[in-house]
Amino acid sequence: MKKLAKLDLNRCPQNHGCPSIRVCPVGAITQKNRRSAPVIDEALCIGCGKCAMFCPRKAIFMVKED
Ligand code: SF4
């Protein structure tokens, strides 16, 4: 079963550069600008969970995909 990172928009204040971008080992997280929410590319995500552990607002969480 694969794990994927998901974003909870209600927890992300969308007012700063996403700090989790730099911990993703595969570059799966991008952000258009500092006032936009980060976007997680599910095709690239390997489910390592680093971004979820790193986000100070707990806005990124892991889900299991069938
Ligand atoms: S779970 Fe790992 S691979 Fe997936 S977006 Fe987060 S840091 Fe990147």
- Give me the residue spans of the domains in the chain: 2-65
Whether residue 35 contacts residue 14, with contact meaning beta carbons closer than 8 Å, is answered with yes
Of all atoms in ligand 1, which is nearest to the CA of residue 40? 5
Residue 54 is predicted with a pLDDT of 95
Q: How far is the CA of 58 from the centre of ligand 1 (A)?
A: 14
> Can you tell me whether residue 60 is helix, strand or coil?
strand
Residue 5 is predicted with a pLDDT of 98
Strand pairing partners for 29? 40
Residue 61 is predicted with a pLDDT of 98
Tens digits of pLDDT across the chain (66 residues): 899 999 999 999 999 999 999 999 999 999 999 999 999 999 999 999 999 999 999 999 999 987
Distance CA 21, CA 60 (A): 11
Residue 1 is predicted with a pLDDT of 84
| CATH code for the part of the protein at 2-65 | 3.30.70.20
Residue 66 is predicted with a pLDDT of 77
Q: How far is the CA of 39 from the centre of ligand 1 (A)?
A: 11
